[in-house]
Amino acid sequence: MNVALYTHSSCLEHDPGPGHPESPARLRAVLDALDDPGFAALARIEAPRAIREQLARVHRAGLIDEIFDNVPQHGWHRLDADTVMSPASAEAALRATGAVCAAIDDAIAGQCRRAFCAVRPPGHHATPTTAMGFCLFNNVAVGAAQALAVHGLARVAIVDFDVHHGNGTQDIFWNDPRVLYVSSHQSPLYPGSGARDETGAGNIVNVPLPPGAGSCEFRDAYQRIVLPALDSFAPELVMISAGFDAHRLDPLANLNLDADDYAWITEHLVELAERHAQGRIVSSLEGGYNLNALRESVASHVAALLG
C-alpha cells in the first residue's frame, strides 16, 4: 500500500449551519474528486475515533471537556463567532483526529508510505485551550504528538500552506525543538499571528505573503526559505496542513495560487520525504472554500502524493 486515503462519513455530518463557509459540501467535493478512476490506487481506510489520551497530549482538559459537554441535542452551539457545533460535531472531530493518528501509525509501521486525511472540521487554529477558526481539535498537532510519544520519533516537520496562519499548531509546539513548524500564509489576515520574528525555540519558520501574491512569490519563498529549513532539519516524518484557500478563486483571502502550485510543492515535499523520512508523509485537509478550486487543488495534491 503506497498511498492511503483516510476519511469517515461522520465528517460529513458536522454542520456549522446555513451559510457557513466550512460546510459539508467541502468534503463532498473532495471525495468526489478522489472518486475519479485516476485515484483507483488509493487505499480507502475508515478513520477510527481518537481517544482522550491522544487529544490530551496537546489539549488541556478544559477544552476537551468543553467540546464534549456542549454538544447540542439539536440546532447549534456557538463556541465563538466562527466556530459552531452541531449534534454530530464531536464525533466528526474525533474521527478527524483519529484519521491523522491512524495514518501516522500506519506510515511508521510501513503499512503505507503516504496518506491524505479527507476530514473536517479542520484543525490548525485550535490551541491547547481554545477551539477557534472553525477548528475544534488540532488534527495535525495530535498526530505529531502521536508520532513523538508512541513511536519515539525525534524530528517531525509540519508544513502548513493554508492561507491562514496555523496559530494553534505554532502555540502547541512553540518550545518543542522536536517539531519544525513551517507556515506560508497571507498577512495581514486572520488570525493575525505568523510574523517572521515568531520563531519559538528556533523551530518555527513563518513566511508571510502579502495580499495579491501568487505563484512566483510562493515558489520563491519555498525555494529560498522553507525547503532549505526542512532539509537542514532532516525530518523523520513530514506532515502537511493542507489548506487550499490560497487559491486565486477562494472567497476568504487574497492570494493567487492555482492547482499547479499545490502539485509543485507536494512534489518537492515528496522528494524531501524520500531523502530524510523513508518517504513518509501524512497530509490532512484544512481550508479551501471555493468548491471547484478545492476539487482541482486536492486532485493535484493527491496525484503528487501518488507520484
Which residues are catalytic, by number? 125
Which residues, other chains included, contact 279 with Cβ-Cβ below 8 Å and sequence gap of 6+? 113, 114, 270, 273
Q: Is 50 left (phi over 0), alpha (psi -120 to 50) or beta?
A: beta
DSSP summary character for residue 33: H
Could you give the CA distance from residue 181 to residue 206 in angstroms, rounded to a whole number? 8
176-180, long-range: CB within 8 Å, 24+ apart, which pairs? 176/200, 176/201, 176/203, 177/201, 177/202, 177/203, 178/148, 178/153, 178/154, 178/203, 179/144, 179/148, 179/203, 180/155, 180/156, 180/205, 180/229, 180/230, 180/233, 180/235
Q: Which residue has the cell 484519521?
A: 99
**Helix (H/G/I), strand (E/B), else coil: 159:** strand
Q: In whole angstroms, what separates CA 59 from the centre of its chain?
A: 17
C-alpha to C-alpha distances, 211 to 135, 170, 242, 255, 286, nearest whole angstrom: 24, 22, 20, 6, 20
Could you give the CA distance from residue 144 to residue 264 in angstroms, rounded to a whole number? 24
**Helix (H/G/I), strand (E/B), else coil: 114:** strand
Exposure string of 204-236, with b = 16+ CB inside 10 Å and e = fewer, is bbbbbbeeebeeebbeebbeebbbebbeebebb
